[in-house]
Structure 1
Amino acid sequence: DVQALVNYYARAGYGRHVQTVCGEALRSRPGDPTLSFWRAFGLILEGSYSEAIAQLESLMDRREISLACVAASIHAHKMARIVDEESVDALEDRMHREEGDANERALLACANFYALAGGPDSWRARAMAERALRMARGDGFDAKTLLGWIELTTEAAGGDDDDDLGLGAPPTPGGTTENDRARTQKAKRRFDDVLDTDEGEGHLEALMGRVKVMERLGQVAGALDALNRVAVIHPSFAPAVAEKAKMRMRAGDWDAALETAQGILERDPNNIDALRLHAFYLLGVEGNAAAGRAKIGQLTDALETLEGRNARLFVSCAQDLARVAGGTSNMLSALGKMLERARAIEPEDVAVLNEVAYQQQLAGNYAAAVGTYREAARVAEMDGTLDNLTSLYGTIHCQLLDGQLTEAAQQLEFLTDVASERGIKLVFLTALHAARVKGDVATPLAELEGLLADHMASVQRKPFAYDYFVHMDPDLLLQCAELYLSQESGEPRGKGEPMSPGMERA
């Protein structure tokens, strides 16, 4: 099912994969407007906005995807660094005129676009899909399934929390809020309405929706059962095998996860998901640095070949693997190639710059890290996103580690004034500064103890996935342990004496 492949890769943010799938399908269905539309959407995903707009303009007279083309063109214009306001106004006028007369098929295509694209207009997805369901003359399976997926995506569902159940972000079992849990149950009912019928029991999108619901509810066995059903009914749907490997990893069954990933690589040596899992296993489970570095090289080559414009994916892979790489220079050098590629694609992306700086910090290159953190802060200020204090936290941390205590003290005072709360990083930096200037370390360390307990509780609630250690932040925890140990007297304890409080906390 080509549309199911498009949806899967779009949810994963794999823009080039979307283009490849559509391009291959167009060989047997030349000129197909729906395939051409989704190929243009793949261009949007990888940031090729001008090229996408040109392709979309050539498709706008095709009734079944005209509305989606207008919506996608507006989205692409707004995503561009320089927005053509006149074109946006004209397209929004056209959208207003055509939406009322759109048929079921056109509404479904447009609703699916909004759900996959995200952004400020994604709320439109639900209203369009519900209208398409009311217009449906048959079973309405596609509309029901799309409404289920919309419930699993905060923006399209109109939610106000930060949880997003796209493939790139593993969910918290059971949900984090009542609203979140209610949406998960609504999605389950939508998928069940389709799958519990004779005609809809093999609906691929609904089956994959059931997988995500089971994952959301922490029911790994149920998710694996659904994936096995996909493999039986739709044996050509390769992503189901990659999802099975990741599900086994989340269950802690590393042997089965690795076996599944290796099976994928035998058929497809450049499969990004399988290479990523294998590299993560080599570093995080086996601790095999040499083999891990080699696998990182293969992953980097595969990313370059298959998703060469996907800065977000380069950064995500480098970020996750850096947290289990042990801070060794060889490993950080290998991951640095991913970050170099990401920075070449998006030279003024704050997330890219902050991760580059963080890995420079891990490597002990504090001067370079400070420079990159400051560049990230400059870009954030230009974009109006300076409220995210990641760059400032990183700058102060590097200054303290590099012995620039006066500069760090000034920045720390400013940070204390502007921060909305005394979180773990702020209190840690306060304690680290106190330790470096021989000040009062005991007070911030006492405050840090409670924050660390909350932090670890949050980590333990999180399902095991690639970003588990990003959330944990092992380097921060190690430095907290060093702070506690630095306050110990160094005198050995007698036999039978209890462990000192500082040692126990460390």
Structure 2
Amino acid sequence: MAADVAALLASYARLGLFKHISTVCSEVIAKRGNDPVIVLWSAFGSAMEGNAAAAIRQADTLRTKRQVALASLVCLEAFHRRASMVDRAALESVNSDMRSAEREASPKQLALAATFAVHLRQWDRALGLADAAVTAAGDDPDCLTANGWAELGSGGAEAAEAALALLDRAIASVEAAAGAGSGAVDARMGKAVALRSLGRHSEALDALNDVVAVNRWMLPAIAERGRLHARQGDWEGVGEASAALLASDPLDVEGQMLACLKALAGDGDAASASMSMRQLLAAVPSTSPATPP
């Protein structure tokens, strides 16, 4: 699966936009066929939207696909626990296979499993898998990026500093191979989050600007940029981010939220804020509720 698609799906997962994940996966599968990683993302989207049974069926077909075997088992364990009736025998089988798959997994397979563990909020598991991936693979950008996001999930300034170091290494590794400013979209997104959590807002904006300059389709980066502008009281920046999001999709929830925030806190315009709020409430059904797994 292309790295840019993976970065977009990961960003939607962090925002809780699970219906967006399902839509992107359906489009990619229609164009490129059943790539195992996309199929697993599709199963993840289904599970997070509340359809655990369909997610289990989909992920179960991937257990023998070496590229995603471990990641599919990490997901399957979570999906089974979300089911209305937990199949204990199936769960035991998943856990048994997961132990074997982890022993046999390559660094990239460990990193992929860590990535899904992050989105499932299984922080200890994510850190263990990602640490093992980096130990085995050194400066592989996928492994470093997974480890960076796992550290971010741990919370706190120390974890954010550790994440920042890992993500900078991931970006440097990609740029050494492909040139300055190239790729590493998910690592740059993580870098922005780490910098924001450390209160280094101007540097976080620089990281997001690097993403948007090369990937104008990366709407989650524009939304994050808008939120950072709001923290700094830069209401013109908030308005620009909102306008860009709504130009892409008039029902974009992040765009409507930023428009409402600018009208109320930036402009002191209660009438415009009320209108934006009505538009926001109308847009919400087009997304999925951001319910933690």
TM-score between the two structures when normalised by the length of structure 1 = 0.53
* Secondary structure of 1:61's aligned partner: coil
C-alpha distance in structure 1 between counterparts of 2:135 and 2:243, whole Å? 46
Q: Please, which of 222, 247, 255 is the counterpart of residue 274 of structure 1?
A: 255
Aligned residues of 1:68 and 1:113 also touching (Cα < 8 A): yes
Q: Please, which of 55, 61, 68 is the counterpart of residue 58 of structure 1?
A: 61
1:38-86 deviation per Cα after TM superposition (whole angstroms, max 9, x unaligned)? 1111112222211111111122221111111112111011123432222
1:237 aligns to 2:218 (yes or no): yes
TM-superposed CA distance for 1:235, in Å, is 2.9
Aligned residues of 2:16 and 2:290 also touching (Cα < 8 A): no
C-alpha distance in structure 2 between counterparts of 1:33 and 1:85, whole Å? 26
The one-letter amino acid paired with 2:6 is Q
Q: Which structure 2 residue ranges, 5 or more long, are not aligned?
A: none
Match for residue 181 of structure 1?
A: 157
TM-superposed CA distance for 1:232, in Å, is 2.0
TM-superposed CA distance for 1:151, in Å, is 1.0
The one-letter amino acid paired with 2:195 is M
Aligned residues: 284
1:301 aligns to 2:273 (yes or no): no
TM-superposed CA distance for 1:247, in Å, is 0.9
Match for residue 153 of structure 1?
A: 153
1:265 aligns to 2:268 (yes or no): no
Aligned residues of 1:14 and 1:45 also touching (Cα < 8 A): no
Q: Which structure is richer in relative contact order (CA contacts within 8 A, separation 6 or more)?
A: 2
Identity of aligned residues (%): 31
Match for residue 100 of structure 2?
A: 97
Match for residue 111 of structure 2?
A: 108
CA RMSD across the alignment: 2.1
Aligned residues of 2:113 and 2:129 also touching (Cα < 8 A): yes
C-alpha distance in structure 2 between counterparts of 1:234 and 1:263, whole Å? 13
C-alpha distance in structure 2 between counterparts of 1:263 and 1:91, whole Å? 44
The one-letter amino acid paired with 1:124 is R
Larger Rg: 1
| CA separation of 1:295 and 1:312: change in aligned 2, threshold 3 A | farther
Q: Please, which of 177, 182, 187 is the counterpart of residue 199 of structure 1?
A: 177
1:143-195 deviation per Cα after TM superposition (whole angstroms, max 9, x unaligned)? 111111111102xxxxxxxx5xxxxxxxxxxxxxxxx2221111111122223
TM-superposed CA distance for 1:286, in Å, is 4.1
Aligned residues of 1:2 and 1:22 also touching (Cα < 8 A): no
TM-superposed CA distance for 1:104, in Å, is 2.5
Aligned residues of 2:113 and 2:126 also touching (Cα < 8 A): yes
C-alpha distance in structure 2 between counterparts of 1:33 and 1:87, whole Å? 21
TM-score between the two structures when normalised by the length of structure 2 = 0.89
Match for residue 85 of structure 1?
A: 88
Aligned residues of 1:19 and 1:42 also touching (Cα < 8 A): yes
Aligned residues of 1:148 and 1:191 also touching (Cα < 8 A): yes
* Secondary structure of 1:240's aligned partner: helix
The one-letter amino acid paired with 1:252 is G
After TM superposition, list the pairs within 5 Å mapping 1:283-362 onto structure 2: 283-307=264-288, 310=289, 312=291
C-alpha distance in structure 1 between counterparts of 2:267 and 2:215, whole Å? 34
Match for residue 74 of structure 1?
A: 77
1:228 aligns to 2:201 (yes or no): no
* Secondary structure of 2:77's aligned partner: helix
TM-superposed CA distance for 1:289, in Å, is 4.2
C-alpha distance in structure 2 between counterparts of 1:114 and 1:311, whole Å? 17
